[in-house]
Amino acid sequence: MTLAIKTQPDQNAADKDWWRGAVIYQIYPRSFQDSNGDGIGDLLGIVQRMPYIASLGVDAIWISPFFTSPMKDFGYDVSNYCDVDPMFGTLADFDALIQTAHSLGVKVMIDLVLSHSSDQHPWFIESRASRDNDKSDWYVWADAKPDGTPPNNWLSIFGGSAWHWDARRCQYYLHNFLTSQPDLNLHNPDVQNALLDVERFWLDRGVDGFRLDTINFYFADRLLRDNPPLAPEKRNDTIAPAVNPYNHQEHLYSKNQPENLTFLHRFRAVMEEYPAIAAVGEVGDAQHGLELLGQYTRGDDFVQMCYAFEFLSKEPLTAARIAEVFDQLDSVAADGWACWAFSNHDVMRHVTRWDLSPAAQKLFTTMLMCLRGSVCIYQGEELGLPEAELEFEDLQDPYGIEFWPEFKGRDGCRTPMVWEPSNQNAGFSTGAPWLPVPSAHASLSVAAQEADPGALLHHYRKAISLRHSHAALTKGSQTHVQAQGDVVILTREHEGEHLFCAFNLSDDPARLHLPPGHWLTIGAELNSAAANADGQVELGPWQPCLAIRRS
């Protein structure tokens, strides 16, 4: 295996804009590498596999939550923000991870869950004990209506009412997710200060940034007003499955509140106390995702980048759809910075979601690395792993258990990483894994693809390398994205470097002309088509054309 390892810059001279155009590799730690044979991935497993991650050429890793947790939502229910859950290791293990990553030129971003905690967090245990203790107002509490029903009509993403009755206080508390995930009350400045202390704790430990879970859920309407209904024609299953009545409301008051900007300004101010720190926010909204992305990333006051779910949805990613998304982005978020992803731990893997052939997988990867914005790739997508088909008895995800069989949850994209055919668990663990390793994944293992020069894994490395070789692809501007039939066309420019990019998203050949000027084909290693003497390009099925303007 050839390592494409970058040299870690001096922190005092670090590029504060490193995140702009960066490629971030998401690690779901439970499923990445188990180092002690208990069937659950851990921090030392990540340390073990850091040379592989560095070999991809990525700029950073994003590690999904590893904090102390009862694991009702597998770490997204935090009971101690400043410690490592024993199943993942120790703070010393995390320090080793930071040191190893930095020695290989890879930055480390961690997943902060600030909108809610576990109901086993000491803050909530104290808050629910009475209505007059020091933390009584640290969560969103409300009295019942006169008839005993919840305070309003808000719904949980995980099903049912977003309110749960607590017999200790004889009040309801808000939970946008599981009942065991009570929402913090960020209207209380003490809560904000406590969360900023968490931010500082990890920055002092050496992290380079954060992924901010459900960034638009931090505040709820102070008056707890009912959400209005959403017209059927406006409903979609981008955020919640179609069988979930959550889609029947416009979530005008339960999230997306204007006070969020003030808190994000405070969060950014703490990041600015440290060199070269960045954050990417997850915007969970089916109607206003790009608009919120624009609000949260404009200027230098909030977070550096956000991702919405436009390219994570089931909607086929046609040329027309891509052009439509960038038109919307230009309209509502022209001054913002997007982070694009096709797969992550919350959605069906895109190979299955869009039924992509091997050629289509490579073309989509090349295109992703050419779009303006930053990029997240999810562990295993560089291997082309399809969504795993699991039996009901194998499910762990409460979301899938609740809505089975119409919605099978998120376990299918969370099965263990496949490293080698050394045992029935593909090198992930010597013990029984927490989720089964699909037999269909074994042939796609890292070891198998390392030995095949034509494998998708090598294509990812080449596409990432191309992105890093051209500042126009990382930090450059982007012209209006066009859809010419099934072909996506755009140009990128930065400090005099002009790149032309076209992508044929079809099984049929296509023809196009390069813009006026002298162009040199690049990306031959990515199957880039060359133009003839007249500037005409014949694109084969699922083929790109990449060219640089010659002076």
Residues with catalytic roles: 213, 273
Q: How far apart are CA 197 and CA 274, in angstroms?
A: 14
CB 246 within 8 A of CB 229: no
Q: Which H, E and C letters describe 439-452, residue by residue?
A: HHHHCCCHHHHHCC
What is the CB neighbour count within 10 angstroms for residue 473? 22
Q: Which of 533, 492, 497 is nearest to 514 (CA)?
A: 533
Torsion of CA 227, 233, 237, 241, to 10 degrees: 80
**Residue 463, C-beta contacts closer than 8 angstroms, at least 6 positions apart:** 365, 366, 368, 369, 526
Q: Using an 8 Å Cβ cutoff, are 4 and 23 in contact?
A: no
Angle between helix 91-103 and 43-55 (nearest 10): 10
3-class DSSP assignment, residue 249: strand
Q: How far is Cα 141 from Cα 163, in angstroms, rounded to an integer?
A: 9
Strand partners, 67: 84
Burial 520-529 (b: 16+ CB within 10 A, else e): ebbbeebbbb
